[in-house]
Amino acid sequence: MSRPDSALPSATSQPAAAPSPGRVVLSTSDISRALRRMAHEVLEHNKGASDLVVLGIPTRGVELADRLVRAISQVEGVDVPVGALDVTMYRDDLRSQPVRAAHSTSIPDAGIDDKVVVLVDDVLYSGRTVRAALDALGDLGRPRAVRLAVLIDRGHRELPIRADHVGKNLPTAKSEKVRVRLQEHDGVDEVRIVEPATEETR
């Protein structure tokens, strides 16, 4: 996989995104700064890049994981193994939610046994997605440690799960929606809070 010099994709790689409702709480530059800071935190906590494996939780966690690894490479000068961890079949809300499309799981060739795995997701909310990710990891190997990096922590936890590395703590009402948009999927990098009334008019 080729790694561009920048931790952000080219702004010309996707067509311009349509206007979106809500208010912007993180811009393109904010997201870039948050990922660079998180890269430094990961390296400091791990005392370098040795034995690190970074796994993104689909969908947008995968792109964030790729960017985090590129930022780590810029700081440390090494390529950290990166992959994706689908948690669809491990979720505890499959019966109550609409059918979810499964995504690919891609684990680096060296595996995760005795590695320090950094799980990456876009938004930490109830904690149930992370719980599913831990269950999925348990079927793939036995990491030495598992850490969690999220771009947004919006609170309202339902399980005793805490992120180790957070781009932004964003207190929200339960009725609000947090929309993370990334260049790779949406043609723009931003995080918005959408009020219920605004969401209904989309």
The CATH number assigned to the domain holding 43 equals: 3.40.50.2020
Between 97 and 139, where is the model more confident? 139
How many of the other CB atoms lie within 10 Å of CB of 115? 20
Q: Which domain holds residue 132?
A: 28-92+102-172
| Best CA proximity match to 133, nearest among 148, 151, 116, 152 | 148
Beta carbons within 8 Å of 11's beta carbon, 6+ residues apart: 183
Domain count, the chain: 1
Question: Residue 195's pLDDT is what?
Answer: 87
The verdict on residue 198 lying in a domain is no
Per-residue pLDDT of 42-53, as tens digits, reads 999 999 999 999
Q: What percent of the chain has pLDDT over 70?
A: 83
The verdict on residue 186 lying in a domain is no
Burial grade of 148 (CB within 10 A; 0-12, 13-18, 19 or more): buried
The verdict on residue 45 lying in a domain is yes
Per-residue pLDDT of 51-63, as tens digits, reads 999 999 999 999 9
Per-residue pLDDT of 77-104, as tens digits, reads 999 999 999 999 998 766 656 556 677 8
The verdict on residue 190 lying in a domain is no
Question: Residue 190's pLDDT is what?
Answer: 97
Per-residue pLDDT of 107-129, as tens digits, reads 999 999 999 999 999 999 999 99
Burial grade of 197 (CB within 10 A; 0-12, 13-18, 19 or more): exposed
Average pLDDT, the chain: 88
Between 17 and 153, where is the model more confident? 153
The verdict on residue 21 lying in a domain is no
Question: Residue 92's pLDDT is what?
Answer: 77
The verdict on residue 109 lying in a domain is yes
Pairing relationship of beta strands 177-181 and 190-194 according to DSSP bridges: antiparallel
The verdict on residue 67 lying in a domain is yes
- Contact between 126 and 167 (Cβ < 8 Å): no
